Amino acid sequence: MNRDGFTLIEIIIVMALLGILSAIASLQWSDYLRKVEIERQTWELYSDLMTCRVAAVTQRCPKRVIVTPTVFTFISSARGGDVSSGRTTRVLSQPVSWAGKTSGDSEALILFDERGTFDIDVGNGNTTICVEPSHKSAQYDGIVVFSTRIHLGKVAFGEVCKSANVTVK
């Protein structure tokens, strides 16, 4: 007997296998996109903090950063007066949390003096900023701001945002 095609059952089996494989690929792709978004935002926050620190040194003027769960604000003048003209605000795509020096329950305050040193008079000596939710496969999702340096790191999966739970890389 000469067969020149496929049976209906063979076509249905192949379609079912393709559907299962595409569903698995779709789940992996969305997980990958979430990981990439967390890493991108972590790098942007790190870059913004380094820019603020360099501006404090080069302009010889204290600089202030205020972080809320959804907004990152860089204020070019840490002194009183009108700061609206020297304010840069970035809306965060992923929420953040922090531990360490805060100016209240709703925001984290990072103040760099004219030497680029982080003011650690309050808190445990550093501030840790974590992009939420922590993602087990993201390489970076935490930033630890020490007195004289800023480090990227990985928050231990399932742990709270504090410097002891961040593996600095």
Which domains are assigned to the chain?
8-168 (3.55.40.10)
Residue whose entry in the numeric block shows the structure tokens 């969305």: 30
DSSP structural state of residue 132: S
pLDDT band at 120 (very low <50, low <70, confident <90, very high): low
Residue type, 46: Y
- Global pTM value: 0.78
**Of 50-64, 121-135, 144-158, minimum mean pLDDT range:** 121-135
